[in-house]
Amino acid sequence: MLNIVISLILFLSQYSLNQIHQEPFKIKIQIIGNQEDITGRRLVFKMKEIFRSSQRFDLTDDDSAVMLIVFQTMPRYPKQPDSSTIYSIVWASRLIQSWPIYIDSTLGYCGAQKIDEVAEDLVADTDNVVSDIIKYLKKQ
C-alpha cells in the first residue's frame, strides 16, 4: 500500500491532474539493466520497439522518465546460452534525480522462439501497472 501511495505522489509531481484526466496520456518510461545473453538482449530490444510504437508510452534514455523498468537477464541453460533466458523485472517510479520507488516485480523465462510473445506480455504487464495508478488518481 505504501508503494502505491508513494507512486501516486510521484505521478502527481510529474503530471498535472488535468493531464491525467485527458486521453491519450503518454507516460515517460526508461528501461535499464544488464542482459548477459543474446536472448535477453533480443527480448529487451523487442520490448523497446513495442514501447517506441506505443500510443501510451514515451520511451526515453534520460532521467525524465516517471516509470523505470529495471531488467536483468541471464542464460537459463549455461551449456546452451542462446536457447533461453531467465529474466527479472522491477517496475519503479521516481522523481527526477531521486532514488526509484519499488512498485512491482516479476520473474520469468523466455525461449528464443517466444521473444515476441513474451515481450508483448511484459509490455501489457507494464500497462497494467500504470493503469492501476492512473485509475486510482482519476478517483481523486
pLDDT tens for the 140 residues of the chain, in order: 445 555 555 555 555 545 545 556 688 999 999 888 999 999 999 999 999 999 989 999 887 788 899 999 999 998 888 889 999 999 998 755 667 888 899 999 999 999 999 999 999 999 998 888 777 767 76
- pTM value? 0.80
Q: What CATH number does the domain containing 130 carry? A: 3.40.50.10070
Q: Judging by DSSP bridges, how do beta strands 57-59 and 84-93 pair with one another?
A: unpaired
Q: How many domains does the chain have?
A: 1
121 is in which domain, residue-wise?
A: 2-139
